[in-house]
């Protein structure tokens, strides 16, 4: 029992600076985000989404993703698309999901390209088009995306 309590105390002691760093990072990012910095807006969105340095709040995450996405940040566009697809912090909306997914993929964001390629392959949200799917998988694979490489291999391309 004594060992367990000592281990718990050590864990808390070691974790406290990490939690303080997360809160400081959040506060720093929020100041920059409020001044319109898209990368900081994305970071604030991720903090809210994951509960890092701030209480978890998916609605707030979506608001910050939307600000960054509106400025053209591809990663934020992809994150926002996922929120619309799954209804995380926002009502599910296939039209908005696809709109933001395409914007992100068009900018060359590999995860978005891979997701959109899968949509073309399955005909989900877009007309089925294996050629377009392969093109997108190839673009993502060229950036080192492992999932895209695996899909190309599976498709024999």
Structure tokens that stand for 145 in this block: 């995306």
Residue pair 60/66 in contact (Cβ under 8 Å)? The answer is no
Burial annotation 123-156 (CB, 10 A radius, 16+ → b, else e): eebbeeeeebbbebbbbbbeeebebbbebbeeee
Neighbours of 85 (CB within 10 A): 19
pLDDT digits (tens, 9 = 90+) for 53-69: 999 999 999 999 999 99
The rounded distance, in Å, linking the Cα atoms of 22 and 70 is 26
From first to last of its 157 residues, what are the pLDDT tens digits of the chain?
Answer: 455 544 444 444 444 444 447 788 888 989 999 999 999 999 999 999 999 999 999 999 999 999 999 999 999 999 999 999 999 999 999 999 999 999 999 999 999 999 999 999 999 999 999 999 999 999 999 999 999 999 999 999 8
Question: The pTM is what?
Answer: 0.84
The rounded distance, in Å, linking the Cα atoms of 75 and 77 is 5
Residue pair 54/26 in contact (Cβ under 8 Å)? The answer is yes
pLDDT digits (tens, 9 = 90+) for 9-35: 444 444 444 444 778 888 898 999 999
For domain 1-101, the question of CATH label 2.60.40.10 is answered with no
């Amino acid at each position: 029992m004594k060992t367990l309590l000592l281990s718990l105390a050590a864990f808390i002691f070691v974790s406290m600076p990490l939690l303080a760093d997360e809160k400081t990072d959040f506060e720093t990012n929020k100041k920059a985000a409020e001044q319109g910095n898209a990368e900081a807006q994305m970071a604030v969105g991720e903090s809210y989404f994951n509960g890092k340095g701030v209480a978890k709040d998916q609605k707030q995450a979506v608001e910050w993703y939307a600000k960054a996405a509106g400025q053209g940040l591809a990663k934020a566009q992809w994150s926002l698309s996922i929120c619309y697809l799954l209804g995380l912090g926002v009502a599910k909306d296939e039209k908005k999901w696809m709109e933001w997914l395409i914007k992100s993929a068009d900018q060359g964001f590999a995860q978005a390209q891979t997701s959109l390629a899968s949509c073309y392959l399955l005909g989900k949200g877009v007309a089925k088009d294996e050629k377009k799917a392969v093109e997108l998988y190839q673009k993502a694979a060229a950036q080192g995306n492992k999932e895209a490489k695996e899909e190309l291999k599976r498709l024999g391309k």
